[in-house]
Homo-oligomer: A and B are copies of this chain.
Amino acid sequence: MKLEKITSEGKRRYDDACAAAHALDLLGERWALLVVRELFFGPKRFSDIKAGLPGISANVLTQRLEGLESSGIVRKTRLPPPASVSVYALTDWGRESEPIFQALGRWAVRSPMHDRTLSFSANSLMLSFRTMFDPARAGDFAATVAFRIGEETFKAEIADGAIAIRRDSDAEADLVLTGPAAVIGAFVHGGVPPEALPALTIAGDPAVARRFATLFPLPSKVAPPEAGGPA
């Protein structure tokens, strides 16, 4: 005879009043946080979310969106005709989860096993700029930088030691960087010279590009764990 699991009402949760544990109840399932990541710069359709998440399957994405909506993190909206499509957007509170990403990102770039050569969604790249922007390095530098990553376009405005990033198809900018997100990341974060990146197109003042690439310093990696053991 099988024990009837009366204790649980279906969901697997941590029975813990710790707020961090509750956050994991809401965002801790596989893919949930990355789904949120894909929505940080505005609403997206199902397929566009899926495109930014290599490896997720449609049914899991459906489940996550349902869960996030019932938690009040995501809202599903149907755009008015003629564009009668469903889009998913973060609620105000959902958008407030960005510091979680920044903390995760700042910590994990120091990981010895972090592989920066994998695929990189446009949202990830833009988020990394917001996370790693160093006001001290920017000083009084001011510029508008546009990004063209496949079909997606963004614009970053740097002024007064702050950076503002939004989706924007307007090409008016001091600098336009075109290419795959991973390649732009290699240039900006990795310090790879543009000459070594044939997939990268830089339109605008090269000096501005070089300066831009210094504004997002990455913290140093930690030493890998010693398998053999020290002294």
Contact = CB atoms under 8 A, between A and B. Distances in A.
Interface of A: 12, 14-24, 26, 28, 30, 33-34, 37, 53-55, 69-72, 75, 91-93, 96-97, 99-121, 124, 127-128, 182, 185, 222, 224-225
B26 A108 contact: yes
Contacts of A113: 22, 71
A71 B19 CA distance: 25
Contacts of A119: 15-17
Contacts of A72: 111-112, 222, 224-225
Identical chains in the assembly: 2
Contacts of A108: 19-20, 22-23, 26
A103 B104 CA distance: 9
Given A19-B104, A33-B24, A121-B16, A110 B128 contact: no
7 contacts: A16-B120, A24-B104, A28-B28, A72-B225, A75-B225, A93-B222, A102-B103
A117 to B, nearest CB: 7
Contacts of A24: 33-34, 104
A69 B225 contact: yes
Contacts of A55: 14-15
Contacts of A30: 12, 28
Given A21-B124, A100-B107, 18 more contacts: A14-B34, A15-B119, A16-B124, A17-B115, A17-B116, A17-B185, A18-B120, A18-B124, A18-B128, A20-B33, A20-B34, A20-B104, A22-B108, A24-B104, A26-B111, A28-B30, A28-B33, A72-B111
